[in-house]
Amino acid sequence: MILIADSGATKTQWCGINPDGSGRRDFFSQGYNPNYISGEDIVADILSCLPAEFNPGEVDEIYFYGAGVTPLQYPFMESTLRKVFTKARNVFIAMDTLASCRALLQRNPGFAAILGTGTNSVLYDGVNEGLNIDSCGFILGDEGSGGYLGKRLITDYIRGNMPEKVHELTGKELGMSGEELIDTIYTKPFPNRFCAQYAKFINEHLDFDPYFPELVRDSFVKFFDRIVTHYPDYRKYTFNAVGSVAYYFRPLLQPVVEHYGMQMGTILKAPMDGLVKYHTSQ
């Protein structure tokens, strides 16, 4: 059995499938960014999320794509996964950017982005990842992501940089004082997930006040200004992206894409179907 894992900042989607594409079995666990979670916690979480009928001893190959999993952390992730899937002959570890490339572009060269809880992007030659303009993560960057949208919303709420009716509505949604919000973000685990959860609130209120769509547009503009436009000849590529932010905010994303001289390409909510196609068509 081939086991494919797409691990984002919030959750991991797993798919066990036979090499011929039959017998697909999917399940979910939490996200495994090795910067925020230990190997012991990863093992315990996988075991708790395995479906009763899923036999880890049947897994022969693993393809694990993870947010925040840099090459320095590949050995850690491989050894951790082998503690659960002890019979696996091959364990392949890569960053989530390669997952987006393979899901969106298969074996064709192009530009691929991730716009979900976090942000990333890369040029792809059809086989390997090429140039990557670093998103710098939640604290320093991640423009265009759900985490960035939530961070901006919370900052504007604390400072009062929003219309009064928006401030009142947002306060009810957040349910915390400014001091409590700051304490949560700076002292509690997974602040990126905490902030990203409010992207859904923003999406549900796009028609409530111009503040909300403008917040989203500004996030995408900053994503292009600070990241996309730094790729050489970026206009010659179509804009392809995977992630819930790209998927649900596509009507606001497309005009920004076209403003910067790119054509809209493929947008996927999640990469798994594309990864299954990639790994069963070799």
Asked if residue 227 is part of any domain, the answer here is: no
Asked if residue 26 is part of any domain, the answer here is: yes
Asked if residue 232 is part of any domain, the answer here is: no
- Provide the pLDDT for residue 40: 92
Asked if residue 7 is part of any domain, the answer here is: yes
Task: Tell me how many helices (H) and strands (E) the chain has.
Answer: 13, 9
Model pTM score: 0.85
Cα separation, 21 vs 280, whole angstroms: 6
Range of the domain at 67: 2-98+272-280
Cα separation, 59 vs 185, whole angstroms: 38
- Provide the pLDDT for residue 282: 67
Q: Please, which residues bridge with residue 241 across strands?
A: 113, 267
Sheet containing strand 11-17, strands side by side: 25-30, 11-17, 2-7, 61-66, 90-95
Count CB neighbours of 178 within 10 A.
Answer: 15
Asked if residue 43 is part of any domain, the answer here is: yes
Contact 207/158 with Cβ under 8 angstroms? no
For residue range 32-60, what is the model confidence (pLDDT) as tens digits?
888 778 889 999 999 999 998 889 999 99
- Provide the pLDDT for residue 35: 76
Asked if residue 165 is part of any domain, the answer here is: no
CATH number, domain at 93? Answer: 3.30.420.40
Phi, psi (degrees; rounded to nearest 5) at 5: -130, 130
Contacts of 82 (CB under 8 A, 6+ apart): 88, 91
- Provide the pLDDT for residue 163: 97
Asked if residue 119 is part of any domain, the answer here is: no
Number of domains in the chain: 1
- Provide the pLDDT for residue 90: 94
Spans of the chain below 70 pLDDT: 282
Cα separation, 194 vs 196, whole angstroms: 6
Contacts of 33 (CB under 8 A, 6+ apart): 7, 9, 66, 67, 68, 69
Asked if residue 182 is part of any domain, the answer here is: no
Contact 135/159 with Cβ under 8 angstroms? no
